[in-house]
Amino acid sequence: MPSQNDLAKAFKALHKPGDPIILTNVWDAISAKAVAALPETKALATASYAIALAAGLEDPDLTLEVNIRGAAAVAKIAKAFNKPLTVDFQDGYGDRLEEGVKKVLEVGAVGINLEDLSRERDALYDVDEAVARVKTVLRVAAEAGVPDFVVNARTDALLAGHPVEEAIKRGKAYLEAGATTAFIWGGPERGGTTRVEVEKEAKELGGRLNVSLVRMRPGGLNVEELKEVGGVGVARISVGPQLMMRSVGAVAEEAGKILRGEGL
């Protein structure tokens, strides 16, 4: 069996600009098993929004304990299929960051998604503090024997009303602090990130960029386009809670057929 850091190292190596790791985010053991069984799946990733909904909560109300409980269920599947696991860790839960990272490591994860929007303050951490938090995660992981721990550092600068240049500046700072990739979140409130923005982000960050693939509506960049965007492509593609959203629709459709007495 590979060690936890062997899995971390393997996961980190999958982040290649132009040949990205594709993560179809899951939220419980059932979804994790379905995804892990696919031969194309290289790693498992959770989506905090989906884990929150599965627990009867909204994303802002997801506690560290509930998030870890959801991650632990997925981690059992990751271990059974010998797949690296990365956990959507929201903003790191304020001053519980070190405690939380240790819990993430204890369940067997080899990476996290870390946001720079403090939920306690309802504001962005300043750049220096956000950089220090990335470094803290990596220090705690190294002390636990996982020096190749993968941080996907998300900035919500665009959602906070800043221009894409500020988001890129933050992304560069997080990469310099040791993050493997930066994730510039556009969010549904502003309609996501535009094609032009993604092209600029990929080029400025040398492809060390995570992009959320749009699957709920037409018109978004597809995987092949993201492999070439900005002339360098991206290193990581994820889908957030979109698998859950689509599966809920499928469940409702099938349940409706059963309730109406319809056959197959």
Question: What local confidence, expressed as pLDDT, does residue 194 receive?
Answer: 87
CA distances from 113 to 203, 224, 236, 251 (A): 22, 24, 12, 29
Domain-embedded: residue 264: no
pLDDT at 263 over 90: no
The pLDDT tens digits of the residues spanning 143-171 come to: 999 999 999 999 999 999 999 999 999 99
pLDDT at 216 over 70: no
Q: For residue 91, what is the domain's CATH number?
A: 3.20.20.60
Domain-embedded: residue 144: yes
| Residues spanned by the domain of 156 | 4-259
How far is the C-alpha of 155 from the C-alpha of 206, rounded, in Å?
Answer: 17
pLDDT at 248 over 80: yes
Question: What local confidence, expressed as pLDDT, does residue 217 receive?
Answer: 72
Give the pLDDT band of residue 264 (cuts 50, 70, 90): confident
Q: How many CA atoms lie within 13 A of 22 on its CB side?
A: 15
Domain-embedded: residue 231: yes
Mean pLDDT of the chain: 96
Domain-embedded: residue 74: yes
Please give the tally of structural domains in the chain: 1
Mean per-residue pLDDT for 11-28?
98
The pLDDT tens digits of the residues spanning 53-81 come to: 999 999 999 999 999 999 999 999 999 99
